[in-house]
Amino acid sequence: MQPPLTLRAPTAEEEAGLRALAHGRKAEARLRDRARICWLAHGGRRVPAIAAALGVGEETARRWIKRFNAAGLDGLRDGGRSGRPPTYRAEEVGEVLAASLTPPDELGQPFGSWTPDRLEAYLNEAKGIAIKRSRIGEILHAEGLRWRQQETWFGERPDPAFAEKRGPSSPCTPLRPKAAS
């Protein structure tokens, strides 16, 4: 059996922050849950009662109480993770976003709209960012952007003088009778 674990006496600032996190609705859910564990421990509850009340394991409750005791409110935040570093720097991601939101003709490209392949080629050649179209899609999706197909068949044509420029229909196409007015 584990010895009883208690929360150290928080400072007035820590207590106010802990109360705001535990009872607030704007913090991340996991941060709020960690603050609730510590808030209940601050109220004098023991680890088994806290674990039962919040539906977490006793080891989880102990971990967050110990981290609060060691580092205060900062101990409740996620620590650094090991693993592969990000492939693209923030500046490169910014270049991808800036290019995708800028009309291609303003960047000296000979077309009027981006496609994933065109944007990939532009970033690879002009900006020197070795990136694939699938990664471009992931970056844009993470920012809440998505590809939009231009629908020239729906609504008004891009060129209002299209009919005059096109000329008459093929001679084998029968003329439609005009409606009586």
User: How much is the pLDDT for 85?
Assistant: 82
Residue 152 pLDDT class (50, 70, 90 cuts): low
Give the global pTM: 0.50
User: How much is the pLDDT for 51?
Assistant: 95
CB under 8 A, 24+ apart: contacts of 89-98: 92/129, 92/131, 93/139, 95/123, 95/127, 95/129, 96/123, 96/129, 96/131, 96/136, 96/139, 96/140, 97/139, 97/140, 97/143, 97/145
User: Looking at per-residue confidence, does 21 or 154 come out higher?
Assistant: 21
Reported as a single tens digit per residue, the pLDDT across 51-95 is 999 999 999 999 999 999 999 999 999 888 888 887 899 999 999
Residue 153 pLDDT class (50, 70, 90 cuts): low
User: How much is the pLDDT for 154?
Assistant: 54
User: How much is the pLDDT for 157?
Assistant: 56
User: How much is the pLDDT for 3?
Assistant: 66
Reported as a single tens digit per residue, the pLDDT across 21-58 is 999 988 889 999 999 999 999 999 999 999 999 999 99
